[in-house]
Amino acid sequence: MFEHYEVFARVGESTDIVQKEMYEFEDRGGRRLALRPEGTGSVVRAFVEHRPTTPWKVWYVAPNFRAAAPQAGRYRQHHQVGVEALGTMDPDLDVEVIALLDGFFRALGLRRFRLFLKSLCDPASSANYLTALRGFLEARAEDLSPQARQTSAVNPLRVLDSKRKEDAAVIEAAPRMIDHLTDEAGAHFDRVQSGLRAVGVDYEIAPLLVRGLDYYTRTTFEFAADSLGSAQNAIGGGGRYDGLTEQMGGPPTPGIGFGSGIERTLLACDAEGVFPVPAAAVDAFVVDVVDGTHALALTTELRTAGVRVDRAFDLRSMRAQMKQADRSGAAITLIVGEQEVADGTVTVRRMTDATQETIPREKVIEAVRQGLPS
């Protein structure tokens, strides 16, 4: 959960994630720490520290934290599953990573999602693009929100990520990064697109796509769930970060990866109804209208025999206990009353068809097993 604050300050100092949303504090040893807001920075820090053999492919599942106002599908603590691959600039690795996330969503059963794809400038072309974008934003400054004007002075690229209505027209008219790619970056992006087509992954070019941190270069992508129908509909995304290892003090090492929010992915799964209705939590339910001791004995015996069973408490009425048995979803209800205690029997009620029979007490486990759906 914890990471050195400097890891994220280096990779996204001008972003909202670092400036406004990251939990940071000083520990008792005087170290400046942060609750991890994302996974890539920590993985690259570990790569620089331990220098594993490349290409190095890793995955992780970890909690992340953002000090932002909770919204639908956006929480102060959430969990991410992520993948990182370092050591090669081959565009086929971009295809492999993107196809992996696409396949992950499809394996879950999701179908109503889209992949948005973009190429950012490489170092050779980024300076020219930033100059063009900064000049454009300065000329249109009066049309921007105060927040966007402030952001433009620090990092013009972040303006393109604004969701404010007053900034929409300016962003729509802004210079496109894809028009400023070098021949090398353009060829890389073409190979990524042809590779995705070859493996059957559909995509849409999204010139205005902006990821949340500054370390991305070249290929960037985002998966959005149409089923969520809100601004918070991204269920995964990532891209290349070919200069990040050097920023961390390591050797030049290209890399690419993705992160996928587990909670939001589950929301998308629920919206599409991809998971079956959960099975009943219990197989049998014991109704004891005598004194509760018979329910205690029966549930203990049945659990020892591997039967999932529950019971009512507080000596509730027969009617109340039967309602609870019905709500439990159990296939069988075992009823013990004064007559059953006197006769040494138990009444077995099948909840699917409301039929019932009275059997000897010692036959209960056998009768329950036979009466459960196969």
Contact in structure between 124 and 184 (CB atoms under 8 Å): yes
pLDDT for position 11: 67
As a dihedral over the C-alpha atoms of residue 14, residue 224, residue 163, residue 148, rounded to 10 degrees, the angle is 20
pLDDT for position 281: 85
The model's pTM is 0.79
pLDDT for position 12: 63
Q: Going by C-beta distance under 8 Å and a sequence separation of 6 or more, which residues neighbour residue 309?
A: 282, 283, 284, 285, 286, 298, 299, 302, 303, 330
pLDDT for position 314: 94
CA–CA distance, 141 with 170 (Å, rounded to integer) = 9
Q: Are strands 284-288 and 332-336 parallel, antiparallel or unpaired?
A: parallel
Chain position carrying tokens 């290892």: 245
For residue 50, the SS3 value is helix
373 cis-preceded (ω within 30 degrees of 0): no
Which portions of the chain are predicted below pLDDT 70? Answer: 11-16, 211-213, 374
CA–CA distance, 160 with 120 (Å, rounded to integer) = 13
Q: Are strands 355-360 and 345-350 parallel, antiparallel or unpaired?
A: antiparallel
DSSP 289: -
- Give the model confidence (pLDDT) of 95-130 as tens digits: 999 999 999 999 999 999 999 999 987 777 777 888
- Give the model confidence (pLDDT) of 31-82 as tens digits: 999 999 889 999 999 999 999 999 999 999 999 998 877 777 788 999 999 9
